[in-house]
Protein backbone atom coordinates (compact mmCIF):
# COMPACT_ATOMS: atom_id res chain seq x y z
CA UNK A 1 0.00 0.00 0.00
CA UNK A 2 1.31 3.46 -0.89
CA UNK A 3 0.46 6.27 1.48
CA UNK A 4 -0.11 9.77 0.19
CA UNK A 5 1.30 12.16 2.78
CA UNK A 6 0.39 15.83 2.18
CA UNK A 7 2.58 18.35 1.62
CA UNK A 8 13.83 25.01 24.43
CA UNK A 9 12.17 21.72 25.69
CA UNK A 10 13.19 19.46 28.55
CA UNK A 11 14.76 16.47 26.79
CA UNK A 12 16.00 13.65 29.02
CA UNK A 13 17.67 10.92 27.02
CA UNK A 14 16.72 7.40 28.00
CA UNK A 15 19.26 4.66 27.56
CA UNK A 16 22.86 3.87 28.23
CA UNK A 17 22.24 0.39 29.58
CA UNK A 18 20.48 -0.72 32.75
CA UNK A 19 22.32 1.79 34.92
CA UNK A 20 21.43 4.62 32.56
CA UNK A 21 17.77 3.69 32.62
CA UNK A 22 17.75 3.42 36.43
CA UNK A 23 19.35 6.86 36.73
CA UNK A 24 16.83 8.29 34.30
CA UNK A 25 13.94 6.81 36.25
CA UNK A 26 15.26 8.14 39.56
CA UNK A 27 15.72 11.54 37.95
CA UNK A 28 12.15 11.47 36.69
CA UNK A 29 10.92 10.42 40.13
CA UNK A 30 12.87 13.22 41.78
CA UNK A 31 11.49 15.73 39.28
CA UNK A 32 7.98 14.46 39.91
CA UNK A 33 8.39 14.85 43.68
CA UNK A 34 9.78 18.34 43.30
CA UNK A 35 7.00 19.22 40.90
CA UNK A 36 4.42 17.96 43.38
CA UNK A 37 5.98 20.07 46.16
CA UNK A 38 6.01 23.17 44.01
CA UNK A 39 2.88 22.60 41.97
CA UNK A 40 1.44 25.95 42.97
CA UNK A 41 4.55 27.68 41.59
CA UNK A 42 4.26 26.10 38.14
CA UNK A 43 1.72 28.05 36.09
CA UNK A 44 -0.60 26.08 33.80
CA UNK A 45 0.14 26.17 30.08
CA UNK A 46 -2.72 27.69 28.13
CA UNK A 47 -4.01 25.98 24.98
CA UNK A 48 -7.04 26.67 22.77
CA UNK A 49 -8.70 23.71 24.51
CA UNK A 50 -8.06 24.62 28.14
CA UNK A 51 -5.01 24.98 30.34
CA UNK A 52 -2.74 21.99 31.02
CA UNK A 53 -1.25 22.11 34.51
CA UNK A 54 0.58 18.77 34.54
CA UNK A 55 4.29 18.42 33.76
CA UNK A 56 4.72 17.43 30.14
CA UNK A 57 8.29 16.16 29.95
CA UNK A 58 9.70 15.32 26.54
CA UNK A 59 12.18 12.44 26.33
CA UNK A 60 14.58 11.72 23.48
CA UNK A 61 15.71 8.26 22.41
CA UNK A 62 19.53 8.22 22.66
CA UNK A 63 21.23 9.04 19.38
CA UNK A 64 18.03 9.40 17.36
CA UNK A 65 15.61 12.18 16.38
CA UNK A 66 12.85 10.22 18.10
CA UNK A 67 10.94 11.75 21.02
CA UNK A 68 8.12 10.73 23.31
CA UNK A 69 6.04 11.73 26.33
CA UNK A 70 4.84 9.40 29.09
CA UNK A 71 1.35 9.39 30.53
CA UNK A 72 0.50 8.82 34.17
CA UNK A 73 -0.83 5.53 35.47
CA UNK A 74 -4.50 5.24 36.27
CA UNK A 75 -7.95 5.93 34.87
CA UNK A 76 -8.35 9.26 33.03
CA UNK A 77 -9.84 11.81 35.43
CA UNK A 78 -9.68 15.46 36.45
CA UNK A 79 -6.56 14.84 38.55
CA UNK A 80 -4.43 13.51 35.68
CA UNK A 81 -6.32 15.66 33.14
CA UNK A 82 -6.64 12.63 30.86
CA UNK A 83 -2.87 12.24 30.45
CA UNK A 84 -2.58 8.46 30.89
CA UNK A 85 -1.09 7.28 27.59
CA UNK A 86 2.19 7.73 25.72
CA UNK A 87 2.79 9.38 22.36
CA UNK A 88 5.86 10.18 20.30
CA UNK A 89 7.24 11.61 17.10
CA UNK A 90 10.10 11.22 14.65
CA UNK A 91 11.78 14.19 12.99
CA UNK A 92 13.01 13.67 9.41
CA UNK A 93 14.48 15.99 6.80
CA UNK A 94 11.10 16.19 5.06
CA UNK A 95 8.80 16.48 8.07
CA UNK A 96 7.50 14.85 11.24
CA UNK A 97 5.70 11.54 11.79
CA UNK A 98 3.69 11.33 15.01
CA UNK A 99 2.56 8.15 16.77
CA UNK A 100 -0.67 8.59 18.74
CA UNK A 101 -2.12 11.90 19.87
CA UNK A 102 -3.03 11.56 23.59
CA UNK A 103 -6.33 11.75 25.43
CA UNK A 104 -7.63 15.33 25.09
CA UNK A 105 -7.37 18.07 22.48
CA UNK A 106 -5.41 20.12 25.02
CA UNK A 107 -2.84 17.34 25.43
CA UNK A 108 -2.62 16.96 21.66
CA UNK A 109 -1.90 20.68 21.45
CA UNK A 110 0.79 20.38 24.15
CA UNK A 111 2.40 17.60 22.11
CA UNK A 112 2.32 19.85 19.07
CA UNK A 113 3.93 22.61 21.12
CA UNK A 114 6.71 20.22 22.09
CA UNK A 115 7.22 19.27 18.46
CA UNK A 116 7.52 22.95 17.57
CA UNK A 117 10.19 23.38 20.26
CA UNK A 118 12.26 20.69 18.51
CA UNK A 119 11.62 21.48 14.85
CA UNK A 120 9.71 23.78 12.54
CA UNK A 121 9.27 21.03 9.95
CA UNK A 122 5.64 20.22 9.12
CA UNK A 123 3.77 17.33 10.70
CA UNK A 124 3.05 15.07 7.75
CA UNK A 125 1.38 12.03 9.28
CA UNK A 126 -0.13 10.84 12.56
CA UNK A 127 -0.12 7.06 12.92
CA UNK A 128 -2.73 5.85 15.40
CA UNK A 129 -2.06 2.67 17.38
CA UNK A 130 -5.79 2.06 17.99
CA UNK A 131 -8.97 4.02 18.48
CA UNK A 132 -9.36 4.26 22.24
CA UNK A 133 -10.14 7.67 23.70
CA UNK A 134 -6.87 8.08 25.60
CA UNK A 135 -4.94 7.87 22.32
CA UNK A 136 -7.09 9.81 19.85
CA UNK A 137 -8.84 12.88 21.25
CA UNK A 138 -5.65 14.86 20.69
CA UNK A 139 -6.05 14.35 16.92
CA UNK A 140 -8.41 17.32 16.90
CA UNK A 141 -5.54 19.66 17.77
CA UNK A 142 -3.39 18.30 14.93
CA UNK A 143 -6.20 18.68 12.41
CA UNK A 144 -6.96 22.22 13.51
CA UNK A 145 -3.45 23.55 14.22
CA UNK A 146 -0.94 21.47 12.23
CA UNK A 147 -2.17 21.91 8.66
CA UNK A 148 -4.33 18.77 8.82
CA UNK A 149 -1.74 15.95 8.57
CA UNK A 150 -2.79 12.55 7.26
CA UNK A 151 -4.20 10.31 10.00
CA UNK A 152 -3.32 6.66 9.35
CA UNK A 153 -4.90 3.72 11.19
CA UNK A 154 -5.80 0.07 10.68
CA UNK A 155 -9.11 -0.64 8.94
CA UNK A 156 -10.63 -2.17 12.08
CA UNK A 157 -10.76 1.29 13.64
CA UNK A 158 -13.58 2.26 11.28
CA UNK A 159 -15.99 0.25 13.41
CA UNK A 160 -15.32 2.71 16.22
CA UNK A 161 -15.45 5.90 14.23
CA UNK A 162 -18.49 4.90 12.18
CA UNK A 163 -16.56 4.71 8.95
CA UNK A 164 -16.38 8.36 7.92
CA UNK A 165 -15.26 11.67 9.28
CA UNK A 166 -18.91 12.66 9.74
CA UNK A 167 -20.06 9.67 11.77
CA UNK A 168 -19.08 7.69 14.83
CA UNK A 169 -19.96 4.33 16.29
CA UNK A 170 -22.14 3.85 19.35
CA UNK A 171 -19.20 2.95 21.60
CA UNK A 172 -17.37 6.10 20.52
CA UNK A 173 -20.40 8.26 21.28
CA UNK A 174 -20.85 6.72 24.74
CA UNK A 175 -17.18 7.12 25.59
CA UNK A 176 -17.16 10.73 24.40
CA UNK A 177 -20.14 11.55 26.60
CA UNK A 178 -18.46 9.85 29.57
CA UNK A 179 -15.25 11.82 29.00
CA UNK A 180 -17.18 15.08 28.67
CA UNK A 181 -18.27 14.46 32.25
CA UNK A 182 -15.03 13.02 33.66
CA UNK A 183 -12.59 15.30 31.85
CA UNK A 184 -14.45 18.60 31.61
CA UNK A 185 -13.29 21.22 30.62
CA UNK A 186 -10.55 19.45 28.60
CA UNK A 187 -13.19 17.36 26.85
CA UNK A 188 -16.45 19.23 26.17
CA UNK A 189 -19.21 19.71 23.62
CA UNK A 190 -16.69 21.05 21.10
CA UNK A 191 -14.52 17.91 21.28
CA UNK A 192 -14.83 15.78 18.16
CA UNK A 193 -13.61 12.35 17.10
CA UNK A 194 -11.30 12.52 14.10
CA UNK A 195 -11.62 9.53 11.78
CA UNK A 196 -8.57 8.19 9.90
CA UNK A 197 -7.86 9.64 6.46
CA UNK A 198 -6.24 6.43 5.28
CA UNK A 199 -6.52 2.86 6.49
CA UNK A 200 -4.55 -0.30 5.87
CA UNK A 201 -5.26 -3.98 6.40
CA UNK A 202 -2.36 -6.18 7.57
CA UNK A 203 0.62 -3.88 7.11
CA UNK A 204 1.94 -0.86 5.28
CA UNK A 205 5.17 1.11 5.01
CA UNK A 206 6.36 4.47 3.79
CA UNK A 207 9.46 6.64 3.66
CA UNK A 208 9.77 10.25 4.69
CA UNK A 209 13.01 12.22 4.57
CA UNK A 210 15.03 9.03 4.11
CA UNK A 211 13.50 7.34 7.18
CA UNK A 212 11.52 4.13 6.72
CA UNK A 213 8.38 3.51 8.75
CA UNK A 214 6.78 0.05 8.91
CA UNK A 215 3.30 -0.24 10.41
CA UNK A 216 1.75 -3.61 11.18
CA UNK A 217 -1.63 -4.76 12.49
CA UNK A 218 -1.41 -7.08 15.49
CA UNK A 219 -5.08 -7.02 16.47
CA UNK A 220 -7.60 -7.66 17.52
CA UNK A 221 -5.56 -7.84 20.72
CA UNK A 222 -6.13 -5.05 23.24
CA UNK A 223 -8.41 -3.49 20.59
CA UNK A 224 -9.52 -4.37 17.04
CA UNK A 225 -7.18 -1.96 15.27
CA UNK A 226 -4.02 -2.54 17.31
CA UNK A 227 -0.99 -1.43 15.29
CA UNK A 228 2.72 -1.05 15.98
CA UNK A 229 5.23 1.13 14.14
CA UNK A 230 8.88 0.26 13.56
CA UNK A 231 11.18 3.18 12.76
CA UNK A 232 13.61 1.07 10.79
CA UNK A 233 16.55 3.51 10.59
CA UNK A 234 16.82 3.85 14.36
CA UNK A 235 15.60 0.50 15.65
CA UNK A 236 12.75 2.10 17.59
CA UNK A 237 9.41 0.32 18.02
CA UNK A 238 6.26 2.16 19.04
CA UNK A 239 4.20 -0.67 20.51
CA UNK A 240 0.85 0.95 21.26
CA UNK A 241 -1.26 -0.92 23.79
CA UNK A 242 0.02 -4.31 22.71
CA UNK A 243 2.95 -3.52 25.02
CA UNK A 244 2.80 -2.17 28.58
CA UNK A 245 6.05 -0.98 30.10
CA UNK A 246 6.28 -1.75 33.79
CA UNK A 247 2.57 -1.45 34.59
CA UNK A 248 -0.53 -3.62 34.62
CA UNK A 249 -2.05 -4.08 31.13
CA UNK A 250 -5.71 -3.29 30.53
CA UNK A 251 -7.66 -6.42 29.56
CA UNK A 252 -11.12 -5.33 30.67
CA UNK A 253 -12.66 -4.59 27.27
CA UNK A 254 -15.22 -6.55 25.25
CA UNK A 255 -12.93 -6.07 22.25
CA UNK A 256 -9.91 -7.75 23.85
CA UNK A 257 -8.74 -10.98 22.22
CA UNK A 258 -6.23 -12.67 24.50
CA UNK A 259 -5.21 -15.35 21.99
CA UNK A 260 -4.44 -12.81 19.29
CA UNK A 261 -2.73 -10.56 21.81
CA UNK A 262 -0.33 -13.33 22.79
CA UNK A 263 0.38 -14.00 19.11
CA UNK A 264 1.18 -10.31 18.66
CA UNK A 265 3.61 -10.42 21.55
CA UNK A 266 5.32 -13.39 19.94
CA UNK A 267 5.69 -11.35 16.75
CA UNK A 268 7.29 -8.45 18.65
CA UNK A 269 9.63 -10.86 20.44
CA UNK A 270 10.78 -12.02 17.01
CA UNK A 271 11.91 -8.47 16.22
CA UNK A 272 14.46 -8.41 19.03
CA UNK A 273 17.44 -8.24 16.67
CA UNK A 274 15.88 -5.31 14.81
CA UNK A 275 14.67 -3.29 17.77
CA UNK A 276 16.87 -1.41 20.19
CA UNK A 277 14.19 0.61 21.98
CA UNK A 278 10.54 -0.18 22.68
CA UNK A 279 8.16 2.69 23.49
CA UNK A 280 4.93 1.18 24.85
CA UNK A 281 1.45 2.68 24.78
CA UNK A 282 1.63 3.02 28.57
CA UNK A 283 4.62 2.88 30.90
CA UNK A 284 8.33 3.40 30.43
CA UNK A 285 10.59 2.86 27.44
CA UNK A 286 12.69 -0.31 27.41
CA UNK A 287 15.98 -1.23 25.77
CA UNK A 288 15.07 -4.91 26.03
CA UNK A 289 12.25 -5.95 23.71
CA UNK A 290 12.27 -9.49 25.05
CA UNK A 291 11.94 -8.36 28.66
CA UNK A 292 9.03 -6.00 28.06
CA UNK A 293 7.25 -8.62 25.96
CA UNK A 294 7.71 -11.21 28.69
CA UNK A 295 6.39 -8.86 31.36
CA UNK A 296 3.18 -8.22 29.42
CA UNK A 297 2.80 -11.87 28.39
CA UNK A 298 3.43 -13.25 31.89
CA UNK A 299 0.71 -11.08 33.38
CA UNK A 300 -1.84 -12.11 30.75
CA UNK A 301 -0.98 -15.80 31.08
CA UNK A 302 -1.17 -15.70 34.87
CA UNK A 303 -4.59 -14.06 34.95
CA UNK A 304 -5.90 -16.50 32.35
CA UNK A 305 -4.45 -19.51 34.18
CA UNK A 306 -5.90 -18.71 37.61
CA UNK A 307 -9.29 -17.65 36.28
CA UNK A 308 -9.56 -20.74 34.05
CA UNK A 309 -8.76 -22.94 37.03
CA UNK A 310 -11.44 -21.22 39.10
CA UNK A 311 -14.04 -21.70 36.38
CA UNK A 312 -13.07 -25.34 36.00
CA UNK A 313 -13.42 -25.86 39.74
CA UNK A 314 -16.75 -23.97 39.83
CA UNK A 315 -15.35 -21.35 42.21
CA UNK A 316 -17.34 -18.07 42.21
CA UNK A 317 -15.38 -15.08 40.95
CA UNK A 318 -15.27 -13.11 44.22
CA UNK A 319 -13.87 -16.12 46.06
CA UNK A 320 -11.42 -16.89 43.28
CA UNK A 321 -10.13 -13.32 43.17
CA UNK A 322 -9.76 -13.11 46.95
CA UNK A 323 -7.82 -16.38 47.10
CA UNK A 324 -5.48 -15.64 44.21
CA UNK A 325 -1.96 -14.51 45.04
CA UNK A 326 -1.40 -11.16 43.33
CA UNK A 327 1.80 -10.20 45.15
CA UNK A 328 3.99 -10.31 42.04
CA UNK A 329 1.83 -7.61 40.40
CA UNK A 330 0.20 -5.60 43.18
CA UNK A 331 3.00 -3.02 43.40
CA UNK A 332 2.85 -2.25 39.70
CA UNK A 333 1.27 1.02 38.57
CA UNK A 334 -2.42 0.70 37.63
CA UNK A 335 -2.88 -2.49 39.66
CA UNK A 336 -5.67 -1.03 41.81
CA UNK A 337 -7.38 0.56 38.82
CA UNK A 338 -7.23 -2.41 36.44
CA UNK A 339 -6.47 -5.77 38.00
CA UNK A 340 -9.88 -6.77 39.38
CA UNK A 341 -11.65 -5.73 36.17
CA UNK A 342 -9.07 -7.64 34.13
CA UNK A 343 -9.58 -10.79 36.19
CA UNK A 344 -13.36 -10.57 35.97
CA UNK A 345 -13.28 -10.11 32.21
CA UNK A 346 -11.06 -13.18 31.79
CA UNK A 347 -13.25 -15.14 34.23
CA UNK A 348 -16.29 -14.41 32.04
CA UNK A 349 -14.33 -15.39 28.92
CA UNK A 350 -13.36 -18.70 30.49
CA UNK A 351 -16.96 -19.32 31.57
CA UNK A 352 -18.13 -18.78 28.01
CA UNK A 353 -15.34 -21.01 26.72
CA UNK A 354 -16.35 -23.82 29.09
CA UNK A 355 -19.95 -23.65 27.89
CA UNK A 356 -18.83 -23.95 24.29
For 256-291, write each residue's pLDDT tens digit: 999 999 999 999 999 989 999 999 999 999 999 999
Q: Decide: 293 and 280 in contact? Cβ < 8 Å.
A: no
How do residues 323-337 score in pLDDT, each as one tens digit? 999 999 999 999 999
Q: What is the mean pLDDT of the chain?
A: 88
Strands (E), 61-190: 66-69, 87-92, 95-99, 123-127, 150-154
How do residues 2-19 score in pLDDT, each as one tens digit? 454 443 344 555 554 433
CATH class of 11-290: alpha beta
Give the residue among 161, 124, 350, 328 at the shortest CA–CA distance from 251.
Answer: 350
C-alpha–C-alpha distance, residues 257 and 243, integer Å: 14
Confidence of residue 75 (pLDDT cuts 50, 70, 90): confident
Q: Decide: 157 and 198 in contact? Cβ < 8 Å.
A: no
Kindly tell me if the per-residue pLDDT of 164 is higher than 50: no
- Angle at which helix 258-269 crosses helix 289-312, to 10 degrees, equals 160
C-alpha–C-alpha distance, residues 310 and 322, integer Å: 11
Pairing of strands 95-99, 277-283: unpaired
The pTM (predicted TM-score) of the whole model is 0.87
Pairing of strands 150-154, 198-200: parallel
Helices (H) and strands (E) in the chain, counts: 10, 13
**How big is the chain, counted in residues?**
356
Amino acid sequence: MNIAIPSVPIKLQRGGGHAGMCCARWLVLACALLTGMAASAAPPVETPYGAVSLPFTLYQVPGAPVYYVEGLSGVPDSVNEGHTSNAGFVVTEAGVVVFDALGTPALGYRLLQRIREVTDKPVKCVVVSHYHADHIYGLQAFKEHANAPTVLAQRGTLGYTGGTADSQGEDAARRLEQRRQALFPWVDEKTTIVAPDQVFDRETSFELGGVRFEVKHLGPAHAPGDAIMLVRNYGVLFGGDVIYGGRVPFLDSPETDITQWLAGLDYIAGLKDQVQYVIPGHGTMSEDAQRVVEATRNYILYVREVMARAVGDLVPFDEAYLNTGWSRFEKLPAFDASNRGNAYRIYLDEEARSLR
